[in-house]
Each structure stands twice: as C-alpha cells, then as structure tokens.
Structure 1
C-alpha cells in the first residue's frame, strides 16, 4: 500500500516538475512511510526514499520503514538534509508550506536545492480512504457512539462540565480507544452558544442545553461526533433551533454524493438555516475531512474547491448559536461508498433528547 502511495506522489511530483519532496507533516510522513517516531523527516525522490532521523529510531525504522534508506542526522536535521540533496543532485525540492517553520525554511534555503512551496499535495491523496483506513475510522466512531449512550445515563444536574468531559474521555479509553481525538467539549446553558466551549468548572444545572463534541483515535485514525441534548425543560426557541439544525444536517447528508461540489453541501445547510431565520448564527463551515487528523483537508465551506468522491470520509456538522441563550450542533462522520452514496459512520441517536 505504501508503495502505491509513493508512486502516486511521484506522478504528482513529475507534473509539478519536482525531483524530490520533503515530508514535514507527521501525518503525511506516516502515510507515506509507516514511521511513527516523534522526530524525523522523509524525502521522496523519483528514484529514492529516505528517512532522516537519529540513532534512537534505527531499530524502529527497520520494522516500520524497511524499504527506506535511513540517513543519520546526528541531531542536525537541516544540514543533513542539505547534504543529502546535494549528494543525490536533487535540484527542486517540494516543501509543505503549511508545515514548515521559518527557521527550517531559512536553513534549507541556503542549500543547493530550490525550495518549491506546495499545499495539500499529499492531503489530496489522503482524502480517498482504503478499506483498512475506513475500518479504523468506523471503529473509532463505534466507540464514540457507545460513549454517548453511556453519558446519557451518567450525566446529572450538579456535575461540572469538566467532570462529564473526563467521564467521556475515560469511558472511551477504557473501551478500545488509543487516545482522545482532541480536548473534549462539554458546554452547558448559555455556554452552549460557544462553538468551541471547552469544558469548564461550570456546574450543569437542570433545564439547560448541553453540547458534547468529542472523538477518539484508533490505530492513528479519528472519529469526531457532536450531540446536543436538553437536561430538563428549555426555552422553546432552543428546541426550535435544534429541529432546524437537525433538518439542515439531514438535507446536507442526503445530498452528499460522488461528484457533488463540497461548497454545494455547505450551501444546502446554510441556505436552509438562513431560510429559517438563523443564518447569522451559523458561525462555521459545514464539515471537514477526517482521517489521520481530526480536521483534515478538504473543508466544507463557500470556498471549497473539491468535489465529493467515492471513499471519502468527512463530517457534516451544522450549528446555530444564540448568544446569551444557548446553542445546538449536530455532527456525524460520513463515508461515500463505492456506489457514490453517503453512509453514516456514527449512529448515536440525534432526535430530540430531553433527560
């Protein structure tokens, strides 16, 4: 599988007139090499494959990246890369402009190779998932579903948001997850109007809306799910925006098909919410890619340039946020199957829940 990925990258490099490509991104490095070390970089050329690391990783690399030439950098990364590029007579080096910091750029720019900034080259390959990748994302989604069912039984008035967030994290880790996907969001009452209202010491009261946004990692692949519930009775307007959000999400998901522009999916959700009078309260894009990172290319917004393709995995997550009153977000993980149709990868209940 790694060889197929490298050959596809080499085809893209040829189209871009690059004779080499430097992997700064840890996710991209793993995707192309299988190497999971915390330190190291990789270079792919038309004829060679190199991992630049130090002695701490040599034994690990024998197992994870046996087809790569290991270059000992002796804890001097940029000079070693420049020496390798000169040794192999590599003149045009593609770099991941979003990932490379200024210090690295300046050091490598002093070398013999011309640095050619690129954006989302490997990320575009990663958009399309193979069956093994899809299975890992689905497993992470299953753990999220089980966690949500558990938390419905667990949560009670008088608990703090942090207490509930810690329970979400611990339950998932105890039931098969390797790690949490990000800092779990539990936002209650007026704080549910904060799209990224990370769990605080606020005490959850009766008669409040609560947003749960969380996910887990399984074998380096992620899930990401959001559910909103009512703990007791809430303002009727909050129940209204819940239904609007849910209807917008369902409309968007049903239109997720092979060949459909992603900006159209964003427009479907946004136009419906606007039609219902809450367009200005929809404060973010409709979704994002999902895989080796939680938020990965591409995004669902008005500027999206990609079309949906078979075997893509992504989220659909419209939301409405009423400042000083409360908010709603509903998010699922979606896969476009071989027939070009959308399939849910998360299955937690999302009809109105009032505990």
Structure 2
C-alpha cells in the first residue's frame, strides 16, 4: 500500500462576471458530514459514487472505483486504484492505493476491503456501524464517462461486510446535504453555468439551414471542451442534444440528436448537460433558423413568460408545487395546458439530475437558501408543428433568488450575439 498525505488549502479565487474574489472555503460541508456521523452514532461514512466524492472532498475520480471513508474526526481516507492519476487528487485527505488494474493481482477488491477493515480496527471504531447510501438511482459518471464505473457485481454485498457492526442506511440525511449547496459548491456550479453559456453561444451561431443537428451538437461540445485549461477549468464536458423542426415536438418526452438537416423557418432546441470540475449544469434554449409560423412564435413567448413568472417567485419557503402551478396555470390559461407534460424542474449541481423531490404539481418541498434548481417549462405537440422549452439554473438566496445561467434566451438568430 502507498500512503500519500496532502496539506489542506482553504482559499480559492473565483471569477463571477467581471469580479475576481477570494473565497474562504469554510468547513461547513465537512461539519455537516461529521455532524451526521455523530448524530447517528456511526464510525464514519463510506462513499464510492462520483457525486459522493465531489460532495465530500471535491474529488472527481477518473476510473470510478475509488472509495472514501469519512471519519468523525481526523482526515478522510481516500482509497484509490494504483492506476489513478495523482495530479488532481484532493487536498486535506489521506491517500491510500490498492492494486486495481495491476496484472499480477488476482483480487484487488479483497485487498481494498481488507485494508479498510484494518483501518477501522486501528482507529478503534470497529464497534460502530458505518453509514452509506445503498441506492440513489442514476449516478454521475467518472472522468472515464464512456462506460459506467467497473465495479464488481458483488461490490455492494462485499462492502456491506466490511464493518463488524454492518452498515446503516443514511439516505435521508444525505439527501438533505445534496439539496442544500455550500458556498464553494455554489461557486463551482456557477462556473459550470458560465461555461455552459459559451456552448449556448456556439449553438446560436450555427443555426443555419443546411447544417445537421449532429454538426451543431459537435460544435457546441467542442466549444465547451476547449475551455479546459482556462480560468480554473480543469475538466469540461457537455452532452448537447439538438432537435429541430418536427423533432422538437417530442422534446417533452425525450431528447436526442439526429442527422436531420436544419431547414429555414423552424425551431431548434438544445438540451444540454454540462460538467465542469465535477459540478453540473442543465440548460435548455430554443432558437430558430429564420421566421417561424406565428403559432410557434406565440408558443415561445408563452413559455418564456411562464418561466419568468416562476423564476420571479423563487424564494425560501415557497413549495415546489406552488412554483409548478405558477407556470402551469399560465400555460393552461393560454390554451396549451395539454401540451405541457412534465414537471417544472429539479435539483442540479452534483449530477445532471440531483436526487431529491422536484418541482412537480404534487411537491410539498419547501425551498431553502442554498438550493439550486432548474426552471424549465415547455410546450410540445405534433399538431403544433414543434415544441419549445427554456431552462435555467436558479439559486435560492436568503432574499429570493439568483439566476446562475443568466445568458441569452434569444429566439431570433438576429439576436444571437446578445450575450
């Protein structure tokens, strides 16, 4: 086993708009994790999902097989495969390696799990259970996003056998931590949105008849990835989905890019997930390739107004259901209620779609300061000739809200330089 210790860093420079500021990274996230451990009488927490690493230590794994043991006191221990790059490991944690991917090791997982057991025994916490989240639905991909994390089929069973006193499900309290972001996480999500704006600008600049949906998507993806190495961006990847003309009619059901070529006078919609340094944004814009039929223009204006009304109402204590109804009632009043077939939004930041109750008609979620939510009403229909959605990422503040994705929502290509 290789041991590496790193000293903590507590300050980062953040560029918001034209303002460069120094942000002190207080230990609020660390405190919330350790409080969870103490309140639930645990020996610590076990994390292995990408978003769990990002939340707990700010670490974005490459292979997706690392495990973190977060203790009640002392440094978190990060168990990484020997093949993991060393240049972007988090500071303030203890690093240990295990021989995953090494050709002469028959069972690297046995080495890993035995090492964790030994560490628990040495720390004198073997009489306490460890907290974990058994299931959280979909998870964020590691840097090797071309495939899922290559964990063994019996990974969960074997990790459950590590502590003598077993594991305890802490899904509920962890969900609370996912939903309310800390200041340094908000700054990181804001950076993701800033880079998303560069991708959206590329989208607008390529809405020309004759270009294919796939070509537009490739330009957007390149514009985002080209930001790596600039302004604090170590990693940036976008998943742009482009739908044009009649394809936009299905935007409320699914989103996908095809080889269809754009033609003059149609709507073009981009649904884009973007990850920057491990933090996510989720953006939708709708543009055109020229003058569209009057009803589609009217639909766009209705969606835009519905979104603005909902965003204006975002503040602490309002419920998700109340926000949803603001947008839904307006769209229904305009005669298009039957064409709005999804919820108003969801949590975002640690994943493309963070866990937690969203902004649906039945949601009794009360918004809290620090939540980051999407606001994304839409209208879609084959008989309408297409569809439209506008989506922004909105931070709940003490006094109301802040739009993190506050860049152009232009429809007409003539306005596409208005960023």
Shorter-chain TM-score: which interval? Answer: 0.7 to 0.9
Whether the 8 Å contact between 1:19 and 1:46 is mirrored in structure 2 is yes
> Measured at CA, do residues 215 and 67 of structure 1 come closer, stay the same or move farther in structure 2, by a change above 3 Å?
closer
Whether the 8 Å contact between 1:50 and 1:71 is mirrored in structure 2 is no
Whether the 8 Å contact between 2:202 and 2:219 is mirrored in structure 1 is no
- 1:81 deviation in Å? 3.9
What's the TM-score, normalizing by structure 1? Answer: 0.86
* Equivalent position of 1:50 in the other structure: 77
Distance 1:322 1:52 in 2: 50
* Equivalent position of 2:405 in the other structure: 346
Whether the 8 Å contact between 2:29 and 2:182 is mirrored in structure 1 is no
Whether the 8 Å contact between 2:196 and 2:224 is mirrored in structure 1 is yes
- 1:166 deviation in Å? 0.7
SS of equivalent to 2:292 = coil
Whether the 8 Å contact between 2:243 and 2:270 is mirrored in structure 1 is yes
SS of equivalent to 2:154 = helix
Question: Any residues of structure 2 matched to 1:209-248 within 5 Å, and which?
Answer: 209-248=267-306
> Measured at CA, do residues 79 and 190 of structure 1 come closer, stay the same or move farther in structure 2, by a change above 3 Å?
farther
* Equivalent position of 1:144 in the other structure: 196
Instruction: Determine which of 79, 89, 111 is the counterpart of 2:126.
Output: 89
* Equivalent position of 1:261 in the other structure: 319
Whether the 8 Å contact between 1:20 and 1:46 is mirrored in structure 2 is yes
Farther off after superposition, 46-55 or 291-300: 46-55
Whether the 8 Å contact between 1:160 and 1:204 is mirrored in structure 2 is yes
Residue 315 of structure 1 pairs with residue 352 of structure 2? no
Whether the 8 Å contact between 2:336 and 2:379 is mirrored in structure 1 is yes
Whether the 8 Å contact between 1:25 and 1:99 is mirrored in structure 2 is no
SS of equivalent to 2:284 = strand
> Measured at CA, do residues 269 and 15 of structure 1 come closer, stay the same or move farther in structure 2, by a change above 3 Å?
farther
Whether the 8 Å contact between 2:47 and 2:132 is mirrored in structure 1 is yes
Distance 2:85 2:285 in 1: 44
Whether the 8 Å contact between 1:309 and 1:340 is mirrored in structure 2 is no
Whether the 8 Å contact between 1:189 and 1:209 is mirrored in structure 2 is yes
Distance 2:27 2:407 in 1: 37
- 1:320 deviation in Å? 1.3
Question: Any residues of structure 2 matched to 1:1-355 within 5 Å, and which?
Answer: 1=25, 3-37=27-61, 38=63, 39-47=65-73, 49-57=76-84, 64-68=90-94, 70=96, 72=98, 75-76=108-109, 77-85=112-120, 88-99=125-136, 103-111=154-162, 112-119=164-171, 121-175=173-227, 176=230, 178-181=235-238, 183-195=239-251, 196-298=254-356, 299-323=358-382, 325-337=385-397, 339-350=398-409, 352-353=411-412
User: Unpaired runs of 5+ in structure 1?
Assistant: none
> Measured at CA, do residues 138 and 10 of structure 1 come closer, stay the same or move farther in structure 2, by a change above 3 Å?
closer
CA distances 1:205-256 after superposition (whole Å, capped 9, x unpaired): 1121110122543333233221112323333332222222112111110110
Larger helix fraction of residues: 1
Distance 1:161 1:71 in 2: 44
SS of equivalent to 2:326 = helix
User: Unpaired runs of 5+ in structure 2?
Assistant: 1-24, 101-107, 138-150, 415-419
- 1:113 deviation in Å? 2.8
Whether the 8 Å contact between 1:21 and 1:95 is mirrored in structure 2 is yes
> Measured at CA, do residues 103 and 125 of structure 1 come closer, stay the same or move farther in structure 2, by a change above 3 Å?
same
SS of equivalent to 2:242 = strand
Distance 1:272 1:233 in 2: 25
Farther off after superposition, 312-321 or 122-131: 122-131
